[in-house]
Structure formats: structure tokens, C-alpha cells
């Protein structure tokens, strides 16, 4: 089997390492801070239906395939570690705060159904029977039983441990240069690989040499705020499944974790503020409107993560024509946790020169090159 060097140990790099090591490849992972970056701030929803965005049809088959492949990936990680993955399968509810939001929800349901997604319109009474903590003033509800979630921090730690137990050499080194022949230079030395997987997210901008001393990828930081709350013992469990909502057309999500905490998020912004007060206020206000009991929770943490966005919101995944020893795997934007299963499996298929399960034309790493 081949020697693969993976630059980047976020969720994409780690799951790719597990996938490759399980298949018998010799894998080295290089990252100065494994399991950090966007992964540390992610919501972790495995939501190929709920995460649908209008006019992004090329993304849908990738998301749906990733959703179908995730259970196997989670089983693979769990088989090689004793650490919890934070995986939960209770499903997702999507709710509307007012009549206009209910119309939005109805139109979205029609769009999802037209694309073959399993989505069920339910009454607000039914939604509240499933999640009694929901507000009695909601105007609409949809159930998506196939959309699940995992706790990204837990899963990344489990994947890192599983990778090491599978023999992956994880080194806290910063990659500075990659040459087309597979030579990788770090701040501590050099590595020679049969294949290099460039999975460093936004960090790709700081790696030279792999493409004519230029960077053909148009990555940009897209910030997302996430709040972490602790539910009082007297209110546990406040909710048991992911609750997504529209509040005056603003998205919100409430994610119950296996450790008794709740994550609240959904912001997408491209300003330069690492933490924006207005975003935190918006999240708390809208989340409490959907799940009033959140007002009684303890605010543990406010963080902001930068996700690697692309001009068309599709990832960059594939071999480089001029340097076939290099596989680019980045730009997963808001879907990095979900699409990690797609990234890991597809990268293995590329390395093993198998027939690809999914067409990668839309993910061409050079499609935005000037």
C-alpha cells in the first residue's frame, strides 16, 4: 500500500486518515493543532435534507451520499477507540415562528420533496408532543427523521484516537511547502509521500509550492457563531432531537448534546469581527422564542469559527492534473462535518484508482483558477 501524507487534522483530515489506514495504507497526518479549527466550532448536524439551499443542486447528491455513508464511518471510528463519538439519531424537527415563516417552511418542504428527500409535514401539536419544550405559539412544523447529528469535538477526539490506534503517525507539525512530486516541508522537517492530501482548510493559503507557487483556490473565511449552554438538572432533557427553526426568516438551530449541554447557532457572516455582540443577541433571542426553556440555561461559552467557503459553496476535491500525487480536499464550508464521510471515501477511491462512486466534476479544484 502507499504512503499518504495528509496536511490538516480537522474532521476531514482525520476521517480521511481513518478511512485510509483501515484500508491498509501507511498514513502520516501533519497539523500543529489537531482537531481544532472550524471543527472545534461546528454544529455537527448530519442534515442532507434540512441543510438544503435553493439553487445548489450539484451539492445535493454529495450531501445525500455523505448522509448515507456516515453510519459506517462512525462505526469504523468507534471500532478503534473507546472514546464517545457524540452520535445521536433522534432526528430533526424544523419549526416556524410565525405565518410568514410557515410559508417559507412549506415552500422549502416542497423543494426538498421534489428532490427525493424524506421530509414530513406535521402539526405543531405533534411537534410539541415530540418535544414538549417547544413554544406553543409556533406556526408550522416539519419532521426529518433521517437527519441526525454528532458532537464534533467528541467525534474529532475519537477519530484522532482511532487514527492513532490504526497506526497513523500524527505529528504536530505545520506544513509550509508541498512540491508536485510529493515532498512535504514542515517547520520541523521533510516527508516524502506517494500521495499528499491537502486538507488544511483555510490554512491552504499558507502552504506554498503545490501549484506553480500560486494558489488557484478561491477560499474565503465565512464566520459562524455558536453558543454552548448547560441545561439545569431539573430541566433535562430540555430537547431530545435537533430543533431547527425560522424566526422572522432568520435561521436558528438548537442541538442537544450527549453531555447535557445544548449548542445554539446558525449565523453566517463575512465581517472581520471575531465575536459580534449582535450575533449572540440574535441567536439567544430567536432560540428562546422557539424553545423558551433555554432562558433558564447557563451560558458556558461563546465561540466563532471560520469555515472555508468557495464562490459556489461546493468543495474542492480531486487530483491536480499537473501534479497527480496531490489531492486537494478543502472548501467544505457549512457542510464540513456531514461531507467528511464523502471526503474520506472519495479520497480513498482516488488513491486506490477505483471507479468513483460520485462524479467530481463540480468539485474540480481548478474550476475557479483565473
| pTM across the whole model | 0.96
State the cell numbers at 345: 471515501
Q: What are phi and psi of 341, to 5 degrees?
A: -65, -40
Cα(30)–Cα(102) distance, rounded to whole angstroms? 47
Buried b / exposed e along 319-343 (16+ C-beta atoms within 10 A)? bbeebebbbbbbbbbbbbbbbbbbb
pLDDT tens for the chain, 370 residues: list them: 799 999 999 999 999 999 999 999 999 999 999 999 899 999 999 999 998 888 788 999 999 999 999 999 999 999 999 999 999 999 999 999 999 999 999 999 999 999 889 999 999 999 999 999 999 999 999 999 999 999 999 999 999 999 999 999 999 999 999 999 999 999 999 999 999 999 999 999 899 999 987 889 999 999 999 999 999 999 999 999 999 999 999 999 999 999 999 999 988 888 877 778 889 999 999 999 999 999 999 999 999 999 999 999 999 999 999 899 999 999 999 899 999 999 999 999 999 999 999 999 999 999 998 7
pLDDT in the model for residue 335:
93
pLDDT in the model for residue 199:
98
State the DSSP H helix or E strand holding residue 157, giving kind and residue range, or none if neither: helix 152-165
Number of other residues whose CB lies within 10 A of the CB of residue 145 = 15
Cα(227)–Cα(240) distance, rounded to whole angstroms? 18
Question: Which of 316, 204, 315, 333 is closest to 270 using CA atoms?
Answer: 333
Name the one residue in this structure whose C-alpha cell is 487534522. Answer: 9
Residue 363 is classified by DSSP as G
Half-sphere exposure of 213 toward its Cβ, with a 13 Å CA cutoff? Answer: 0
3-class secondary-structure state, position 249 = coil
pLDDT in the model for residue 184:
98
State the cell numbers at 313: 459553496
- The answer, yes or no, to whether the previous bond of 153 is cis (omega within 30 of 0) is no
Name the one residue in this structure whose C-alpha cell is 441545561. Answer: 231
Q: What are phi and psi of 279, to 5 degrees?
A: -65, -40
Q: What are residue 221's DSSP bridge partners?
A: 308
Report whether 124 contacts 11 (CB < 8 A). no
Q: Which domains does the chain have, with CATH numbers?
A: 3-80+152-218+311-363 (3.50.50.60), 92-145+220-309 (3.30.9.10)
3-class secondary-structure state, position 243 = strand
State the cell numbers at 127: 411537534
Cα(134)–Cα(265) distance, rounded to whole angstroms? 17
Amino acid at each position: 500500500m502507499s504512503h499518504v501524507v495528509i496536511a490538516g487534522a480537522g474532521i476531514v483530515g482525520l476521517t480521511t486518515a481513518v478511512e485510509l489506514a483501515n484500508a491498509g495504507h501507511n498514513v502520516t497526518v501533519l497539523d500543529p493543532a489537531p482537531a481544532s479549527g472550524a471543527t472545534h466550532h461546528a454544529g455537527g448536524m448530519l442534515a442532507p435534507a434540512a441543510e438544503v439551499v435553493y439553487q445548489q443542486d450539484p451539492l445535493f447528491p454529495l450531501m445525500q451520499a455523505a448522509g448515507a455513508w456516515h453510519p459506517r464511518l462512525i462505526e469504523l471510528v468507534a471500532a478503534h477507540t473507546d472514546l464517545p463519538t457524540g452520535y445521536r439519531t433522534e432526528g430533526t424537527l424544523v419549526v416556524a415562528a410565525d405565518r410568514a415563516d410557515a410559508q417559507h417552511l412549506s415552500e422549502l418542504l416542497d423543494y426538498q420533496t421534489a428532490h427525493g428527500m424524506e421530509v414530513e409535514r406535521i402539526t405543531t401539536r405533534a411537534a410539541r408532543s415530540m418535544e414538549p419544550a417547544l413554544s406553543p405559539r409556533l406556526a408550522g412544523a416539519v419532521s426529518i427523521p433521517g437527519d441526525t447529528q454528532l458532537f464534533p469535538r467528541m467525534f474529532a477526539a475519537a477519530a484522532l484516537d482511532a487514527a492513532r490506534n490504526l497506526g497513523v503517525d500524527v505529528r504536530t507539525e505545520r506544513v509550509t511547502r508541498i512540491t508536485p512530486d510529493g515532498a512535504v516541508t514542515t517547520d520541523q522537517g521533510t516527508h516524502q509521500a506517494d500521495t499528499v492530501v491537502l486538507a488544511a482548510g483555510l490554512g491552504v493559503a499558507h502552504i506554498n509550492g503545490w501549484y506553480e507557487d500560486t494558489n488557484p483556490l478561491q477560499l474565503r473565511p465565512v464566520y459562524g457563531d455558536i453558543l454552548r449552554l448547560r441545561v439545569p438538572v431539573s430541566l433535562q432533557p430540555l430537547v431530545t432531537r435537533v430543533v431547527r427553526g425560522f424566526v422572522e426568516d432568520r435561521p436558528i438551530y438548537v442541538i442537544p448534546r450527549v453531555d447535557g449541554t445544548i449548542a445554539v447557532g446558525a449565523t453566517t457572516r463575512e465581517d472581520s469581527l471575531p465575536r459580534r455582540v449582535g450575533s449572540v443577541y440574535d441567536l439567544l433571542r430567536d432560540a428562546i422564542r422557539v424553545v423558551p426553556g433555554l432562558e433558564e440555561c447557563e451560558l458556558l461559552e461563546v465561540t466563532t469559527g471560520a469555515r472555508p467557503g468557495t464562490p459556489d459553496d461546493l468543495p474542492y476535491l480531486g487530483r491536480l492534473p499537473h501534479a497527480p500525487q496531490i489531492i486537494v480536499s478543502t472548501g467544505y464550508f457549512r457542510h464540513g462535518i456531514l461531507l467528511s464521510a464523502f471526503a474520506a471515501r472519495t479520497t480513498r477511491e482516488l488513491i486506490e484508482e477505483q471507479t468513483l462512486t460520485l462524479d467530481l466534476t463540480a468539485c474540480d479544484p481548478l474550476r475557479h483558477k483565473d
